[in-house]
Amino acid sequence: MSTGTGRGTGAGTAAIGSRRPTTWRNWAGTVASRPAREATPASVDELVAAIRGAREDGLKVKPVGTGHSFTAAAATDGLLVRPDLLTGIRNIDRAAGTVTVEAGTPLKRLNTALAREGLSLTNMGDIMEQTVSGAVSTGTHGTGRDSASIAAQITALELVTADGRVLTCSKDEHPDVFAAARVGLGALGVISAITFSVEPIFFLQAREEPMTFNQVTAEFDQLATENEHFEFYWFPTRATATPNATTAASARPLPRTRSAPS
Contact positions vs ligand FAD (CB under 6 A):
27, 62-69, 73-74, 103, 125-127, 130-131, 133-135, 137-138, 140-142, 184-186, 190-191
Q: Are 54 and 98 in contact (CB under 8 A)?
A: no
H helix or E strand, kind and range, residue 142: none
Which residues, in sequence order, are CB contacts of 180 under 8 Å at separation 6+?
A: 188
Between residues 114 and 190, which has the closer beta carbon with respect to ligand FAD? 190
Report the nearest approach of ligand FAD to the CB of residue 81 (Å): 7
Between residues 192 and 212, which has the closer beta carbon with respect to ligand FAD? 192
Which residues, in sequence order, are CB contacts of 143 under 8 Å at separation 6+?
A: 229, 230, 231, 254
CA-closest candidate to residue 201, choices 125, 114, 124 = 114
Q: What DSSP string describes 39-79?
A: E--SSHHHHHHHHHHHHHTT--EEE-SS---SSSTT--SSE
Report the nearest approach of ligand FAD to the CB of residue 9 (Å): 26
CB atoms within 10 A of CB 28: 11
Report the nearest approach of ligand FAD to the CB of residue 113 (Å): 17
Between residues 60 and 119, which has the closer beta carbon with respect to ligand FAD? 60
Report the nearest approach of ligand FAD to the CB of residue 118 (Å): 25
Report the nearest approach of ligand FAD to the CB of residue 149 (Å): 7
Between residues 160 and 223, which has the closer beta carbon with respect to ligand FAD? 160
Between residues 66 and 212, which has the closer beta carbon with respect to ligand FAD? 66
Taken in order 2, 195, 120, 86, is the CA torsion positive or negative?
A: positive
Report the nearest approach of ligand FAD to the CB of residue 99 (Å): 17
CA-closest candidate to residue 169, choices 144, 149, 190 = 190
